Copies of this chain bind each other. A is one copy, B any other.
Amino acid sequence: MSKGKISILGAGLVGSLLAILLKKRGYEVVLFERRPDTRKLGGIGGRSINLALSHRGLKALELAGIKDTIQRSCIPMPGRMIHDLEGNLDFQPYGKEGQFINSVSRGGLNELLISQAEEHGVEVRFDHRCTEVNFGTATAIFDNGNSESADYLFGADGAFSALRSAMQKTDRFDYSQMYISAGYKELTMPATPEGDFAMDPGALHIWPRGEFMLIALPNLNKSFTCTLFFPFEGKISFDSLKTPEDVEAFFKTTFPDAVPHLPQLKEEFFENPTSSLITVRCYPWVKENTALIGDAAHAIVPFYGQGMNAGFEDCYVFDQLMDKHGSINAKMLEEYQQLRKPDGDAIADLALYNFIEMRDKVADDKFLLQKKIEKKLNELYPDQWVPLYSMVTFSDYRYSEAIARGNKQQAIMDEVLSRPGIEENWEGLDFGEIVKSLK
């Protein structure tokens, strides 16, 4: 017997995973997607977007029983590869030996999740764009004239969520959308004529250049997807690069070792869209029998590689709470939003901050020295000192806890790094004393 009827808006990554978890708990689940079924269009058309799947995301996929299936289509990235202006390379491991993040195709992963949801008995209705919501009856009204009532309605419909848009019109709904002054453009680095990766596939490549950066993630077909994060306006910006010649000259001086591997650069730069980067915060996430999840509740910028992981963790926490409360109910939804809101805020802040780290600090000597000292601290006191990046990426510390501990550790590191001669003498530090000062 069904435990109740659930509608989910958005058959994206989070909506599809949530559908599987709810179905496994005995609910009747219908997943509504505004786009057509990309699987029937002969695979994901257009651009290939890569995401970095890490611990939190994998943990939720494991709960759904699909971790192994998905990990088979991932490429492990154990560290960053920094490219300097001369094309010199510096590999910086993300964590300990054996720790890595996973480059995965967004489109491919999404199609896999939708198929898994269907195999679990979830009904997926494509070409359904929600235009209106009735909160009292958890009813979604669609642009094709259909409407659907349920016991609960979830908005997993992304940064521009229709459910959230309806909530925004109700009284006492706090909401903010904030864009950063940089946008992004994707560029393709195809496999070499010999059919090989053009660069080392075992890393997330970064060309940090202060106010902007180029990054590249490997794809299964041996290409890389490169993304330029770049100011919209200003002296060096999307605005200032007006001709193919401008673009070529700029790339040749700024990313010299990338240019030979970007044969379509001049065309793609003007053909591919320039996209903006939004952060969305809101509260409450729950209104009557409806709730927001994933980007719909907390859209973040991509610089910590945590957007999908945070959304998947929402699903994990939601599943735990269904277990704890026996079923979805008002008290359970209240606990869900109270638990996850601070973590959504925390990862939003961390992601904004990490743009500065990625585009600027990773090329800095002090930053590298700190990495070395923190690595040592973590080796000696693995339970007491975990670098912030590792807490976020390789653990399931709550994001809000990670940011608090990270701030404390950073204050200590700032003091340590200001000591005279630290560059030469860091190995002689009293590491035990440093860890003690955490308390």
- List residues of chain A with CB under 8 Å of any chain B CB: 168, 171-179, 232, 276
Contact = CB atoms under 8 A, between A and B. Distances in A.
Contacts of A174: 177-179
Contact of A176 (B171, B175, B276): B175
B172 A175 contact: no
A265 to B, nearest CB: 24
Contacts of A176: 175-178
Nearest to A181: B172
Report how many copies the assembly holds: 2
A173 B278 CA distance: 10
Contacts of A173: 177, 179
A254 B415 CA distance: 52
Contacts of A179: 171-174
A175 B174 CA distance: 11
Contacts of A276: 171-172
A175 B165 CA distance: 13
A274 to B, nearest CB: 10
Contacts of A168: 177
A74 B173 CA distance: 35
A174 B177 CA distance: 6
Nearest to A178: B174
A171 B184 CA distance: 13
Nearest to A174: B178
A178 B176 CA distance: 8
Nearest to A171: B276
Contacts of A175: 175-177
14 contacts: A171-B179, A171-B276, A172-B179, A172-B232, A172-B276, A173-B177, A174-B177, A174-B178, A174-B179, A175-B175, A175-B176, A175-B177, A176-B177, A176-B178
A4 B172 CA distance: 40
A179 B283 CA distance: 10
Nearest to A179: B172
A382 B70 CA distance: 72
Nearest to A175: B177
